[in-house]
Structure 1
Amino acid sequence: MDIGMIGLGRMGANMAARLKRGGHRVAGFDPGAAARQAASEAHGLETFDSLAALVAAQPAPRTLWLMVPAGAVVDATLEALGPLLQAGDVVVDGGNSNYQDSQRRATRCREAGVHFLDCGTSGGVWGLAEGYSLMVGGDAQACERLRPLFETLAPAPERGWGRVGPSGAGHFAKMIHNGIEYGMMQAYAEGFAIMQRKESLALDLPQVAEIWRHGSVVRSWLLDLAADALQDNPALDGIAPFVADSGEGRWTVAEAIELDVAAPVITLSLLERLRSREKDSFADKMLAALRDRFGGHGVKRE
């Protein structure tokens, strides 16, 4: 199949490369000349310096896959694509968009006769070699038409991907996936922190992680990554205790509140990420002041 990849950051370029290796004809566009050059040199991708040129090079009906930042960039890209597309073309958003935005975009594309699929994509930088987990939302016939692409990108043709529902369902499933990921990562982080603090036992954290990787009920790919990180840097020297979030954890918590579903683990893991960014916590200062006021516990001065 022919496919135009829009957005040649690391993940977009890797996905394009996996498709190319699978026998598909892939061309790409990125507004950054450096990204285009890197994708061309690393993977031999044909690239174009404009959306118009990329679209013109694709045979109809076209398939265009977006790997661009969520939010305004997706809308701007779709706006620019609008006059270039024809009825029957398919646009896939493989980024981490909000599912409600995807529903809105699908409606707008449908009015123009263009199919819009929202594809939650998991696999990170390892996807090129291991394959991607793909959660697809949108029209069933359009999804079936792109089956060869999904089968190539997935770990295997028969597993790791599927149409999970109508428009928005793919990005909703990915949102929940990332919320769960927040909780799992937080649990691993806290467990290793407790072991690291128990100095009297002098636990070998890389060894423990490696033991857990085989046969234990907490084994997972995240644990594999934790074991690798600890093996390379047991004390995690040089890593700042600052944890960013992409927004999907926030959306998951907001959705849980809206649906009256208790999600304390995911919620607290998100709050811990926010807390990690506080260099000068007013809340902690207030707690110390209150303890001193009611109990005379004293205050540690800066």
Structure 2
Amino acid sequence: MMLGMVGLGRMGANLLRRAMAAGIGGAGFDRDAAAVAALVAEGARGADSLPALVALLPAPRTVWVMLPAGEITEAALRELHALLAPGDTIIEGGNSLYKDSARRAAEAAAKGLRYLDVGTSGGVWGLQRGYCLMIGGEDAAVRDHDALWRALAPGEAAAPPTPGAAGDGRAAQGYVHCGPSGAGHYAKMVHNGIEYGMMQAVAEGLDLLRRGPFPAMPLPEVTEAWRRGSVVSSWLLDLTAQALAADPELKEYGGVVSDSGEGRWTVDAAVEHAVPAPVLAAALFARFRSRGVENFADKALSAMRKGFGGHLEPKAPDA
């Protein structure tokens, strides 16, 4: 098998590296020639255009598009539709709106192509830790790529087993077939909405510790202790403790917290389906508020975003 990757940014490049480390051949294309050259130096085959990338891949081809949601992804898919042959597979792993994924699957099917929407979580640590993969599309296409999912996912050793867990074992390895086209990106959308809520809870708690009745509260030590045996232990807490250990006042961070769009779509879906989601909505609105008056909680949110995704928020002009 050979995987063609379109988009060699923080996620795409490391996805290709992890696949190659598992013995899967890799080829990559990016408009940044330096990004392509870096992967070629590590054993991948490089292309300077989408037609050149497709020409490198043996049939039936698998092309993974890892680009920002929106027109840049749409343009790449349109071009691939003209370049690929019936039976080839397009995997779309960006943070796209699930309704767009369902439409794109129908457009690909009309040309005899298979389309899988794969919500991908793991951030800048995915190369080492593995990626959580939430997959939408036809079951046959999903199963035909099981070797790829196993290569990218953390594997069963990454977490203790859940007693009585349902499923066929794929979820225990870190990847799950969520349902038909669109289901993978829908699961990733809700995942990101939950992420907003969890991050907001940690950030507000830290602000309360810092500004409460014990002003000398040692936040780095408290969060480090919470990592061991606490019911709130998590990867987000790990990243927060790491940031506080390096800078207890989080002076590096301006506290202006961006939102990727997935949080907004999650709240939109909650309204559309009349599902109460007050915590997720409040966490999104808190990010909007962060673009006004800075506080410590917002700096903690910025620290977490940098920790898992490599996002360093710009400081406000007067910060």
- Fold match, TM over 0.5? yes
Q: How does 1:1-302 map to 2 (within 5 A)?
A: 1-41=1-41, 43-156=42-155, 158=170, 159-198=173-212, 200-278=214-292
Amino acid of the residue matched to residue 187 of structure 1? A
CA distance in 2, matches of 1:174, 1:200: 39
SS at match of 2:3: strand
Offset, 1:201: 4.4
SS at match of 2:279: helix
Runs of 5+ in structure 2 lacking a partner?
A: 157-169, 295-319
CA contact (8 A) 2:133 2:149 kept: yes
**Equivalent residue number for residue 306 of structure 2:** none
SS at match of 2:4: strand
Amino acid of the residue matched to residue 210 of structure 1? E
SS at match of 1:150: helix
SS at match of 2:112: coil
Offset, 1:199: 6.1
Number of aligned residue pairs? 279
CA contact (8 A) 2:5 2:12 kept: yes
**Equivalent residue number for residue 301 of structure 2:** none
SS at match of 1:278: coil
CA distance in 2, matches of 1:44, 1:279: 48
What RMSD over aligned residues (CA atoms) do the two structures have, in Å?
A: 1.3
CA distance in 2, matches of 1:186, 1:200: 22
CA distance in 1, matches of 2:190, 2:252: 31
Structure 1-normalised TM-score?
Answer: 0.90
Offset, 1:84: 0.7
**Equivalent residue number for residue 296 of structure 1:** none
Runs of 5+ in structure 1 lacking a partner?
A: 281-302
Question: For residues 279 and 223 of structure 1, do their structure 2 counterparts lie closer, same or farther at Cα, with a shift above 3 Å needed?
Answer: closer
Offset, 1:31: 1.3
Larger Rg computed on CA atoms: 1
